[in-house]
């Protein structure tokens, strides 16, 4: 029977587009025949800001890219600057950096689980995720004074040392999380309705996943065993014992499970860091004061106002919770970067979505979209 | 034919007990307007039911939010009244104060009419619902059939609302609601028929009366024990009929924004809201009536059976409502085609099988025991 | 021999020069041969296109492609130098699908035209935006206003006269 | 079916508050959470230490700070409507005069009232004897 297709405009204001994303769908009844993604509603010109601000001043702006997990953004930019200028980083600072980044991975995946389940109609999981996230955010608050926009990592180290009582609280958090994950798995993983909604939905095979530029957990759900922490170990990852979580199915459920596994792996990494954390400086002596004592807001980092790395270009990438996060920084020898380009994981992962959902239904689009785990601040920059 | 006593008889009995009935009746008879008295009593009944429904709806919306909050480690509404009990009233006042928007391209008449049809059709279900011994508005001889027929009006009005809104999301929500309702009324009716086979009557009061007493002295003669499969099917069909998670396609917030009432605001929105919770109560009451023994329960000395039966009915109904809310807090939503698949390919065959089983039981096993 | 030198060895005519991008090997490619080189590079196993960056160097525009091979675990950066007035290069969408959006972004913000791209239009900024913001000569002081038209598409205007206009 | 029942048990545990599954939210604004000592909220300037040098002004990434004359001396003025609360100004202050307090309830009715001049942010350090 000949049927007329219907143009459905989903977004930019829609409950499950995770912000301001717009799908232009051509529907045959409930079946998606064509899917176009329109982005850019949250474009703030972050790359242009990069050219206008000094190397130090740009760090707070990177917090606002992927605001669910801002620490890796901080680090990815700082890493690029460090590679450009050849700055040494003390061991303790590296450990603290990895600690905060892995903690952020846990947070990101908790929010992912919550919002995915919320997209599917189960509204309880997001509250559980946020309940545990709150504990982690309080750790961050005690560490750097902010809960989401940290501005904590500096070229040459970190802003401040860990506060008193941080490690015991972190241990408590890890212990608590290990128990809570069991709860989540019982609540979600075996649920038949959840399986019905996730299995064989939004399938993408390994080759396509790579070709479409997917990275991170979304790609590892398709059976590609690649993790930048393993491929090009940065910071102290070569000293740590962890594995890149991987599933073969390539469907939404696989992508979900990869992230649940990653929470466990991250907790495992955190435990190792707590054991191994060395003593020493938290910032390269050239870029910091000797630590002040006493006062709670004692500042230990002092970045020189005239910081001019030599002319050059660098592309440096890390494994952010959402995928490969890269910063291309070009310097022309002045105090400001000549060009900053952000390769954001959300942006590139989104390219593959239309490929996944053609021929499926609207609820499947929501489910597949939820498992790609994007943040609009990261997509639009 | 002997009809079961209903609320009309009860009111007259109460008036008699106080000793004023004859005086009032005499007054009206003098005027030659006996029918006016009948109308007044019926209007009183209707007023009681409407007020009861509204209060229940408010309480249920509070309960739902509170349940949600407790499950999610939160407090829920706390400020308005003791533990936030008056929050629904505050919400109602807020909704009354909202601008009543009718979209420019909407069909004005149908758009305005639809919420009222939904609400009235839900209220009509209360008529043959036995709240307790003789606490029933009217014991229709075709009570069960009537309930199924009336609940078929709801999707029609939802379709009206969705169509009149002139919004693609509303239309899709409405189409889903109708598809869902058609496919779930059938197993609903078939499982209900299985119970009717035991009772031999469509009257809700007869169904409850058939469940009085005990087997072996301690197992109540509820149909849930004779028809466990029927109960599960009926429960699933009812949740689908109510349009609650996991089967809330008519709204399905994350997919269709708010489904058929996307365009509604203010009091019209409140009407849908009221209808939803009134429906929840009514359908839970039906489940209790058919499978959980209705208002039956051990008699307590010194307290009139009308009161104890009402209490038993409420306890059971709220247990069912609690289960529906508990389920909503836990599970995600099914996909629409999966739901239809479940309805047509699994539930209808199972319901038919269950009917066959019931007929077998009636014919060969418990003919004497239950009837 | 690093990956850029290997490429130079294989395609001596197309690769202009070999250098480094801080710690990654980089090859500068003649823009006429770019598509051919990209195909060769894909054959060599560089299956992941990380990022496409356009840099406005005032007198020229450079487009830098950062590639990675999951098979060989090697990095490679390709650079094409384009004319500043009409920067045009062949699209690699047919080779790496992710280039679709990355090229659109480069077109949008830097103004590089990618020949053979299936749907080359602005992605982050609305259609009709004047200028390419990441060019060094972009006028930061001109305000542009975006409104939504009848059909839901964006309309850009240099003055705010059509803001909050209702029918 | 088993999976759903497992899930129902988890939610029931929360209803009955078994194990460490207590209510965690607080009744803001009747109850407040304690903010960390390092919390980056509204700025405060030590009246005695500030020399009005303007280093904070040049460090600020978002032009939040301007140096204004207050009485006879110069002090920074913060337009908190533009502030990123990044704390770079605190890091940069050569006299350690600038700090960020735990004051986070900064919502206001107009943009003008978000400009915090010296009269609202100055404090005197208590000298312990």
In a domain? residue B90 = no
Residue A300: pLDDT band (50, 70, 90) is low
- Write the CA distances from C142 to A43, A46, A338, integer angstroms: 17, 18, 22
Phi, psi of D68 (to 5 degrees): -125, 160
Q: What is the mean pLDDT of residues A367-373?
A: 87
Say which of A6, A14, A196 has its CB closest to residue B338. Answer: A196
**Burial per residue of D84-95, b for 16 or more beta-carbon CB atoms within 10 angstroms, e otherwise:** bbbbbbbbbbee
Contact A281, A262 (CB under 8 A): no
Q: Do A313 and C133 touch (CB under 8 A)?
A: no
Say which of A124, A194, A197 has its CB closest to residue B72. Answer: A124
Say which of C23, C53, C125 has its CB closest to residue A43. Answer: C125
Domain count, chain B: 1
Say which residue the tokens 């029942």 belong to: D5
pTM across the whole model: 0.87
Residues of B in contact with D29 (CB under 8 A): none
Q: Tell me the percentage of chain B whose pLDDT exceeds 70.
A: 97
Contact A326, A342 (CB under 8 A): yes
Residues of A in contact with C70 (CB under 8 A): 210, 224, 226, 231
Q: Do B72 and D14 touch (CB under 8 A)?
A: yes
In a domain? residue B216 = yes
Counting CB pairs under 8 A, whether chains B and A reach 3 or more, is yes
In a domain? residue B187 = yes
Q: Do B73 and D21 touch (CB under 8 A)?
A: yes
User: Per-residue pLDDT for C59 more than 70?
Assistant: yes
Q: Measured between CB atoms, does B73 come within 8 Å of chain A?
A: yes
Q: What is the mean pLDDT of chain C?
A: 82
In a domain? residue B61 = no
Q: What is the pLDDT of residue B50?
A: 85
Q: What is the pLDDT of residue C165?
A: 53
In a domain? residue B186 = yes
Q: Do A381 and C124 touch (CB under 8 A)?
A: yes
Q: Do A145 and D38 touch (CB under 8 A)?
A: yes
In this predicted structure, which of A164-168, A245-249, B23-27, B277-281 has the lowest mean pLDDT? Answer: B23-27
Range of the domain at B112: 102-368
More confident residue, B138 or C163: B138
Q: What is the pLDDT of residue B371?
A: 44
Counting CB pairs under 8 A, whether chains C and A reach 3 or more, is yes
User: Per-residue pLDDT for C166 more than 60?
Assistant: no
Q: Do A188 and D99 touch (CB under 8 A)?
A: no
Q: What is the pLDDT of residue B1?
A: 44
User: Per-residue pLDDT for B180 more than 60?
Assistant: yes
Q: What is the pLDDT of residue A295?
A: 40
H-state helical runs in C11-89: 34-43
Q: Measured between CB atoms, does B322 come within 8 Å of chain D?
A: no
Q: What is the mean pLDDT of residues B191-196?
A: 86
Q: What is the pLDDT of residue A1?
A: 66
Residues D83-93: tens digit of each pLDDT:
888 888 887 88
In a domain? residue B6 = no
Q: Measured between CB atoms, does D125 come within 8 Å of chain A?
A: no
Residue B294: pLDDT band (50, 70, 90) is confident
In this predicted structure, which of A60-74, B241-255, D97-111 has the lowest mean pLDDT? Answer: B241-255
Q: What is the mean pLDDT of residues B351-367?
A: 80
Q: Do D11 and B71 touch (CB under 8 A)?
A: yes
**Which chains touch B (3+ CB pairs under 8 A)?**
A, D
Which domains occur in chain A, in start order? 46-339 (1.10.645.10)
The candidate with the shortest Cα–Cα distance to B238, out of B175, B292, B198, is: B292
Q: What is the mean pLDDT of chain B?
A: 82
User: Per-residue pLDDT for A113 more than 80?
Assistant: yes
User: Per-residue pLDDT for C107 more than 60?
Assistant: yes
Q: Measured between CB atoms, does A83 come within 8 Å of chain D?
A: no
Q: Do C124 and A9 touch (CB under 8 A)?
A: no
Q: Do A339 and C56 touch (CB under 8 A)?
A: yes
User: Per-residue pLDDT for A118 more than 80?
Assistant: yes
- Write the CA distances from D2 to A190, A193, B326, B335, D6, integer angstroms: 8, 11, 16, 20, 6
Residue A333: pLDDT band (50, 70, 90) is confident
Three-state secondary structure call for residue C146? strand
User: Per-residue pLDDT for A213 more than 80?
Assistant: yes
Edge-to-edge strand ranges of the sheet holding D65-70:
D65-70, D73-79, D115-116
Say which of A63, A143, A297 has its CB closest to residue D99. Answer: A297
Q: What is the pLDDT of residue A123?
A: 83
**Which chains touch A (3+ CB pairs under 8 A)?**
B, C, D
Rg, C-alpha atoms of chain A: 21
Residues B318-332: tens digit of each pLDDT:
998 998 888 888 888
Q: Measured between CB atoms, does D8 come within 8 Å of chain B?
A: yes
Say which residue the tokens 């009582």 belong to: A165
Q: Do B254 and A366 touch (CB under 8 A)?
A: yes
In a domain? residue B284 = yes
CA distance to partner chain C, nearest, from residue A43 (Å): 6
CA dihedral D75→D81→D87→D91, nearest 10 degrees, is -20
H-state helical runs in D16-81: 55-59
Phi, psi of B353 (to 5 degrees): -60, -40
Say which of B172, B332, B337 has its CB closest to residue A121. Answer: B332
The candidate with the shortest Cα–Cα distance to D44, out of D106, D97, D113, D89, is: D97
CA distance to partner chain D, nearest, from residue A70 (Å): 13
CA distance to partner chain B, nearest, from residue A15 (Å): 5
Residues B34-54: tens digit of each pLDDT:
777 778 878 888 888 888 888
Residues of A in contact with D10 (CB under 8 A): 183, 186-187
Q: Would you list which residues of chain A are within 8 Å, Cβ to Cβ, of chain B?
A: 6, 8, 14-16, 30, 117-124, 127-128, 131, 187, 191, 193-194, 196-197, 361-364, 366
SS3 per residue for chain A:
CCCCCEEEEECCCCCCCCCCCEEEEEEECCEEEEEEEECCCCCCCHHHHHHHCCCCCCHHHHHCCCCCCCHHHHHHHHHHHHHHHCCCCCHHHHHHHHHHHHHHHHHHHHHHHHHHHHHHCCCHHHHHHHHHHHHHHHHHHHHHCCCCCCCCEECCEECCCCCCCHHHHHHHHHHHHHHHHHHHHHHHHCCHHHHHHHCCCCCCCHHHHHHCCCCHHHHHCCCCCCCHHHHCCCCCHHHCCCCCCCCCCCCHHHHHHHHHHHHHHHHHHHHHHHHHCCCCCCECHHHECCCCCCCCCCCCECCCCCCCCCCEEEEEEEEECCEEEEEEEEECCCCCEEEEEEECHHHHHHCCHHHHHCCCEHHHHHHHHHHHCCCHHHHHC
Residue B370: pLDDT band (50, 70, 90) is very low
Q: Determine whether B298 is exposed, middle or buried from the number of CB atoms within 10 Å of its CB (0-12, 13-18, 19+).
A: exposed
In a domain? residue B53 = no
Residues of A in contact with B172 (CB under 8 A): 30, 362
Q: What is the pLDDT of residue A289?
A: 55
In this prediction, the residues of chain D whose per-residue pLDDT falls under 70 are 127-129
Q: Do D6 and A144 touch (CB under 8 A)?
A: no
Q: Measured between CB atoms, does A91 come within 8 Å of chain D?
A: no
Q: What is the pLDDT of residue B70?
A: 87
Counting CB pairs under 8 A, whether chains C and D reach 3 or more, is no
Helices B168-199 and B228-242, packing angle to 10 deg: 150
Q: What is the mean pLDDT of chain A?
A: 85
Dihedral sign (CA C131, C137, C138, C141): negative
Q: What is the mean pLDDT of residues C45-71?
A: 87
Residues B205-216: tens digit of each pLDDT:
888 888 877 777
């Amino acid at each position: 029977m000949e049927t007329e297709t219907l143009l459905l405009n989903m977004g930019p204001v829609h409950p499950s587009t995770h912000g301001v994303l717009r799908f232009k769908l051509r529907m045959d009844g409930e079946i998606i025949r064509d899917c176009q993604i329109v982005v850019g509603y949250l474009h703030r010109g972050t790359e242009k800001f990069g050219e206008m601000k000094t190397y130090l001043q740009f760090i707070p702006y990177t917090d606002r890219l992927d605001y669910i997990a801002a620490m890796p953004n901080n680090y990815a930019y700082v890493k690029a600057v460090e590679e450009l200028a050849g700055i040494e980083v003390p061991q303790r600072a590296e450990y603290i950096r990895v600690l905060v980044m892995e903690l952020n991975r846990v947070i990101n995946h908790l929010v992912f689980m919550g919002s995915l389940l919320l997209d599917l109609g189960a509204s309880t999981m997001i509250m559980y995720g946020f309940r545990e996230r709150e504990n982690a955010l309080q750790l961050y608050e005690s560490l750097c004074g902010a809960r989401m926009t940290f501005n904590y990592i500096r070229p040459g180290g970190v802003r401040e040392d860990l506060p008193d009582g941080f490690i015991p609280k972190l241990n408590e958090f890890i212990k608590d999380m290990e128990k809570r994950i069991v709860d989540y798995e019982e609540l979600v993983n075996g649920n038949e309705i959840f399986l019905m909604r996730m299995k064989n939905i939004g399938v993408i095979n390994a080759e396509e996943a790579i070709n479409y530029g997917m990275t991170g957990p979304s790609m590892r759900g398709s059976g590609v065993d690649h993790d930048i922490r393993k491929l090009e170990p940065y910071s102290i990852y070569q000293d740590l014992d962890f594995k890149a979580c991987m599933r073969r199915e390539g469907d939404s459920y696989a992508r979900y499970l990869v992230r649940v596994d990653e929470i466990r792996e991250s907790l495992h990494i955190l435990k190792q860091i707590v054991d191994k954390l060395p003593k020493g400086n938290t910032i390269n002596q050239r870029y910091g004061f000797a630590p002040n004592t006493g006062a709670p807001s004692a500042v230990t980092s002092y970045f020189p106002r005239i910081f001019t790395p030599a002319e050059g270009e660098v592309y440096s990438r890390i494994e952010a919770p959402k995928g490969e996060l890269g910063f291309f920084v070009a310097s022309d020898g002045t105090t400001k970067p000549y060009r900053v380009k952000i390769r954001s994981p959300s942006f590139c992962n989104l390219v593959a979505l239309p490929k996944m959902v053609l021929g499926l239904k609207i609820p499947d689009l929501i489910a597949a979209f939820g498992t790609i785990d994007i943040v609009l601040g990261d997509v639009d920059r | 034919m002997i009809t079961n006593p209903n609320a009309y008889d009860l009111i007259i009995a109460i008036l008699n007990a106080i000793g004023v009935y004859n005086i009032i009746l005499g007054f009206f008879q003098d005027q030659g307007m006996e029918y006016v008295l009948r109308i007044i009593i019926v209007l009183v009944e209707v007023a009681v039911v409407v007020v009861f429904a509204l209060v229940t709806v408010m309480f249920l919306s509070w309960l739902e939010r509170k349940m949600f909050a407790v499950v999610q480690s939160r407090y829920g509404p706390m400020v308005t009244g003791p533990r936030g009990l008056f929050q629904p009233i505050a919400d109602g006042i807020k909704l009354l104060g909202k601008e009543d928007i009718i979209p420019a391209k909407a069909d004005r008449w149908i758009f305005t009419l639809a919420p009222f049809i939904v609400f009235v059709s839900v209220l009509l279900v209360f008529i043959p619902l036995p709240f307790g011994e003789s606490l029933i508005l009217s014991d229709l001889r075709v009570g069960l059939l009537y309930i199924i027929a009336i609940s078929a009006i709801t999707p029609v009005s939802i379709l009206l609302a969705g169509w009149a809104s002139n919004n693609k999301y509303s239309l899709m929500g409405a189409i889903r609601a109708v598809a869902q309702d058609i496919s779930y009324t059938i197993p609903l009716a078939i499982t209900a028929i299985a119970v009717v086979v035991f009772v031999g009557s469509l009257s809700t009061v007869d169904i409850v009366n058939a469940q009085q007493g005990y087997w072996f002295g301690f197992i109540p003669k509820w149909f849930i024990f004779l028809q466990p499969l029927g109960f599960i099917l009926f429960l699933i069909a009812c949740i689908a009929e109510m349009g609650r998670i996991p089967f809330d396609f008519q709204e399905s917030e994350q997919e269709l924004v708010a489904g058929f009432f996307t365009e509604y605001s203010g009091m019209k929105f409140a009407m849908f809201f009221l209808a939803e919770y009134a429906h929840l109560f009514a359908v839970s009451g039906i489940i209790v009536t058919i499978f959980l023994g209705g208002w039956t329960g051990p008699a307590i000395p010194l307290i009139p059976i009308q009161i104890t039966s009402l209490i038993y009915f409420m306890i059971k109904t709220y247990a069912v409502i609690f289960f529906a809310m508990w389920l909503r807090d836990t599970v995600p939503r099914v996909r629409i085609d999966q739901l239809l698949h479940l309805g047509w390919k699994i539930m209808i065959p199972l319901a038919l099988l269950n009917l066959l089983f019931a007929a077998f039981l009636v014919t060969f096993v418990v003919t004497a025991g239950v009837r | 021999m690093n990956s850029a030198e290997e490429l130079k060895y294989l395609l001596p005519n197309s690769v202009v020069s070999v250098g480094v991008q801080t710690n990654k090997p980089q090859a500068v490619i003649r823009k006429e041969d770019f598509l051919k080189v990209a195909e060769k590079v894909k054959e060599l196993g560089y299956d992941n296109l990380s990022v496409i960056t356009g840099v406005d160097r005032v007198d020229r525009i450079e487009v830098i492609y950062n590639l990675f091979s999951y098979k060989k675990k090697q990095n490679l950066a390709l650079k094409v130098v384009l004319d500043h007035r009409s920067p045009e290069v062949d699209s690699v969408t047919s080779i790496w699908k992710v280039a679709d959006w990355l090229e659109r972004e480069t077109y949008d913000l830097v103004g590089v035209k990618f020949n053979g791209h299936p749907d080359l239009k602005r992605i982050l900024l609305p259609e009709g935006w004047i200028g390419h913001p990441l060019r060094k000569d972009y006028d930061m002081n001109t305000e542009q206003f975006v409104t939504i038209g009848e059909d839901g598409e964006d309309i850009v205007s240099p003055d705010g006269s059509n803001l909050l206009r209702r029918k | 079916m088993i999976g759903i029942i497992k899930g129902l048990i988890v939610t029931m545990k929360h209803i009955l508050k078994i194990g460490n599954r207590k209510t965690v939210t607080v009744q803001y604004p009747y109850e407040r959470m304690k903010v960390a000592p390092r919390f980056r909220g509204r700025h405060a300037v030590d009246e005695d230490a500030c020399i009005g040098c303007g280093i904070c002004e040049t460090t600020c990434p978002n032009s939040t700070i301007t140096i204004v004359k207050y009485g006879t001396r110069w002090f920074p003025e913060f337009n908190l409507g533009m502030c990123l609360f990044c704390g770079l100004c605190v890091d940069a202050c050569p006299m350690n005069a600038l700090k960020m307090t735990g004051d986070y309830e900064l919502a206001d009715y107009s943009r003008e009232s978000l400009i915090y001049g010296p009269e609202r942010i100055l404090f005197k350090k208590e000298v312990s004897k």
